[in-house]
Structure 1
Amino acid sequence: MTGPLIVQSDKTLLLEVDHDLADACRRAIAPFAELERAPEHIHTYRVTPLGLWNARAAGHDAEQVVDALVEYSRYPVPHALLVDIAETMARYGRLTLSKHPVHGLVLTTTDRPVLEEILRSKKMQPLVGARIDPDTVAVHPSERGQVKQTLLKLGWPAEDLAGYVDGEAHPIELAEDGWSLRPYQKQAVEGFWHGGSGVVVLPCGAGKTLVGAGAMAQAKATTLILVTNTVSARQWKHELVKRTSLTEDEIGEYSGTRKEIRPVTIATYQVLTTRRKGVYPHLELFDS
């Protein structure tokens, strides 16, 4: 049987939805390929550097990516594309963010010329501190996210080992009483969970909140939800109480008027980004 996937030299992947192996192929490429278009019969994915680096961050290597493309491709995969994938993924991890017992957050390299290259960048220079040794430079904790974004743009993504921990377990189930997730919502949940993270893009009214609830039910862990305003926060709470096993007492609102921290906390961007005397006091919510 021929495969369901057509791999093109411009890194576009065309998936035949009605093929018997389409679901298996979708799961195989989900960690590294981004869905661009999803008409009825052919779904279009694209392989991007960011997608490949996210796959590396989630524990996938170039061999797994190449194997997935070769296994499900209907035609021979362009050799130049496979080489490019391997070289792109090899860029990940040469720089590492970690916590130093004395200097705090530091950026370390296993390839000194790479560190020299990024330190010459005018965009990086304001974000880093003193050079600790030839392979290490200090980074201010508040610049952690900006450093990672800048390194992505420079083509040298950093592996972030600076203190992430597993979330606290908390039972969450979907309460599918007279309703159920639509097939595309289940696919979104599966893609998000299988890939380790991601961005769900759906039109208005397509049920992004339900996709979020489905992801929470998969994770079964304490959850922080960020929204644009208190109206959205209360809509989220209403839907979670209605669609999941969560009770009102398990869901807190963290906004300008309320400061409730619960197993599931819904916070507004405005509160979290409030800055006083150069300090973001509410960012401690991420550690709650």
Structure 2
Amino acid sequence: MTDDETDSRDLSLDAFYDALEDVGRPVVTAGRLASVLGWTQADASDALDALADDGAALQRVDVSNDPVVWFPTDWARTTERERVVVFPEHREVVVDQPTQFTRAQLAQFATLTDTTGENAYRYRVREEDVWGAPHDDVESLQRTLRQALGDRYPIVEEFVTDQWRRARQFRLYTHEEGYVVLEASSPEMMGNVAEQHLSEGTIRAPITDTEAWVAAEAVATVKRDLYEAGYPVQDDRTLDEGSEIDLDLELSLRDYQRGWVTRFVESGSGVLVGPPGSGKTVAALGVMDEIGRETLILVPGRELVGQWRDSILEYTTLGRGDVAEYHGGVKEIGPVTIATYSSAGMERHRRLFDEKRWGLVVYDEAHHIPGDVFRRTADLQASSRLGMSATPIRGDDREADIYTLIGPPIGTDWEALFEAGFVQEPEVEIRFVPWVDDAHRYEYASADGHERRMLAASNPAKVDEVRAILEAHPDAKTLLFVDYLDQGERLADALSIPFVSGDTPHSRRERVFHEFRAGERDVLLVSRVADEGIDLPDAELAIVASGLGGSRRQGAQRAGRTMRPAGRALVYVLATRGTEEEDFARNRTRHLAEKGARVREADAEAHVAASDSEPPRDERAGSESDP
């Protein structure tokens, strides 16, 4: 045996742990180790003895009538190590104890489909995940794939390569005579795919074997039809640029924000996807600076109109006369116009927006776009279309429409922002609360539908649990969320804090929010009205006493209220033990887990018993969802 061969029989502790994973047991015999490593049993036995003598990392025991078995002295390490198991045929990946790095890598080409309280994560590689992967070429995507999975899996790699190519078979461009052309990569693509899947009336006439004249009013339909057929379309149209505006940005962008701006300007369309607090609005102002053309900004509500106006006036050289508002209270059009989706989508107003040629349209909270009313704004003519969303996910499975109607996702890995300290990684805990008494549990068991969900969400035992969490974090600036008005009113009375809902007058709502921002209030109780579109940047703690079923978007939005550069980001999601709220809570936190946040589960800490906090029975029966 040569010296090299002798050295190869040295056994490191890491190699021993890898062998345990291969065996699938926490103990191993010398014979089994030899089989795994391809050694002789004598070599394996000698290597185990040497490793055991070197720092006592291993222990051995003679089992009666069985061979000697070896196991780690530190048993915990066998359960704490990351383990990636790939099921190539199903394109699924199961990861036990994943590191944040691994989760961030997987999020680039796969979707999290399940997670458990034991830190096990299940991912699936889907077509749309590959289409929207944040890579410039398939080679870099393949490198990320291999690094995350730890090995080559030809079936998965072939699928990824195929889907990457499918996303580059069709493009739309503007002909020199002004009409829109659909171009296919080959005559077969045009004949066998486009002609078979496009709706009647979308194509006016063929031009060549690979090109066709698209009806101007049917561009969005073409993109949707081909997307549904498995072929996303690249939109390279040249649209009217709108009039120039004199705008300069008066702040410095972070490196990743400059990257967003550069990627968007190169493509002309896309959706900025990043966690709350990452500065998507500031990046959008950077895009406005680069485009330098008349801009329409669409937002879901009036609160956001004011916030956009204030940001534009504070961070750019534009004056008040350059910024117009269009909504229920004011209807003006200017060089930069901020309008609500509902106003811009109404038939009686839409002509004003259709006739004007915008250089840029910004779709804030872009996950609203697939809605039947809001999507009417997606056909507005603009040379550039910019979407913004921390959570481009929907409960109706129409999130694909966001990218077909606006553009592909553009963003930075959440993990990179967490590591750089730009955004705090949220610490999320699902806390299971028992029923306050048997009477409430029996009432839940006999109910169904909406009433059943309401009873679980409004479990009076949550009052004690909220109080316990607040006492555990006495100095934290806290947002407390509910989905039911009666529950909110009971919590407000029990905790002596204000409750802001959709029924709260606008003036009082603004006053309470201002007091919270200014530090005059440490705890604020809010309904669904604060899920998005309201600037509450200083929250450190979020308590979700009840939520919107299993909405992942709502879960990420509420957690996002704490994800700012300074301090800690703590999120507690309360769920009544033994009810469907358990699954709802896991679903609501799934998007956060997918983006790299750790989600743990625990039982309630408060002493739960029938207490003075329980309201009369008739008050509970009358609760209803906040509109």
Range class of TM-score, shorter chain: 0.5 to 0.7
The answer on 1:65 being equivalent to 2:135 is no
| One-letter amino acid matched to 1:226 | L
Counterpart position of 2:132: 54
- CA offset digits 1:5-61 (Å, max 9, x no partner): 947432558597756xx29x84x6666555778999787765432232234xx7722
* Contact persistence 1:31–1:195 (CA under 8 A): no
- Give the 5 Å matches for 1:127-276: 127-163=202-238, 170-171=248-249, 173=251, 197-198=270-271, 200=273, 207=276, 211-216=279-284, 219=287, 221=289, 224-238=296-310, 240=311, 245-246=315-316, 249=320, 251-255=323-327, 257-262=330-335, 265-275=337-347
Give the Cα–Cα distance (whole angstroms) in 1 for the partners of residues 116 and 261 of structure 2: 23
- Distance between the aligned counterparts of 1:17 and 1:261, measured in 2? 51
Q: How does 1:83-94 map to 2 (within 5 A)?
A: 83-94=158-169
Identify the match of residue 282 of structure 1 among 329, 332, 353. 353
- Structure 1 residues 18 and 32, CA gap change in structure 2 (3 angstroms): closer
Counterpart CA distance in 2 for 1:281 and 1:105 is 23
1:219, distance to aligned residue in structure 2 (A): 4.3
Partner of 1:102: 177
- Asked if the contact 2:170/2:183 (under 8 Å) is kept, the reply is yes
Distance 2:145 2:112 in 1: 15
* Identity value in percent: 18
Distance 2:287 2:111 in 1: 22
Can you give the 5+ residue segments of structure 1 that lack an aligned partner in the other structure?
176-185
Q: CA deviation at 1:64?
A: 1.3
Residues 11 and 81, structure 1, Cα contact 8 Å, conserved in 2: no
3-state SS in 2 of match to 1:156: coil
Contact 1:5 1:74 in 2 (8 A): no
Matches of 2:113 and 2:323, distance apart in 1:
34
Matched residues in 1 for 2:203 and 2:158: separation?
33
Aligned equivalents of 2:240, 2:141: Cα separation in 1: 27
CA displacement at 1:273 relative to structure 2:
2.9
SS of 2:212's equivalent in the other structure is: strand
For structure 1, which segment, 77-86 or 193-202, has the greater mean C-alpha deviation from structure 2 after superposition? 193-202
Cα separation, 2, equivalents of 1:160 and 1:192 = 18
Contact in 1 for aligned 2:240/2:358 (Cα 8 Å): no
Larger Rg: 2
1:216–1:134: structure 2 CA closer, same or farther, 3 Å change rule? Answer: closer
Gaps of 5+ in 2: 1-13, 19-80, 265-269, 361-627
Cα distance change on mapping 1:147 and 1:74 into 2, 3 Å:
closer
Distance change >3 Å, CA 235–CA 165, structure 1 → 2: same
Q: 1:199 & 1:276 partners in 2: Cα distance?
A: 30
Residues of 1 paired with 2:333 and 2:279: CA distance? 24
Match of 2:512 in 1: none
1:127, 1:147 within 8 Å by CA — same for their partners in 2? yes
In the TM superposition, residue 253 of structure 1 has moved relative to its aligned partner by 2.0
SS at the partner of 2:332? coil
- Cα distance, 1:216–1:174 mapped onto 2, change above 3 Å: farther
Q: CA deviation at 1:68?
A: 1.5
Cα 1:282–1:220 change in 2 (3 A) is: closer
Distance 1:5 1:261 in 2: 57
RMSD: 4.7
Structure 2 residue aligned with 1:181: none
Evaluate the alpha carbon distance shift between residue 287 and residue 194 of structure 1 in structure 2; reply closer, same or farther with a 3 A threshold. Answer: closer
Q: Is the 8 A contact 1:52 1:89 kept in 2?
A: yes
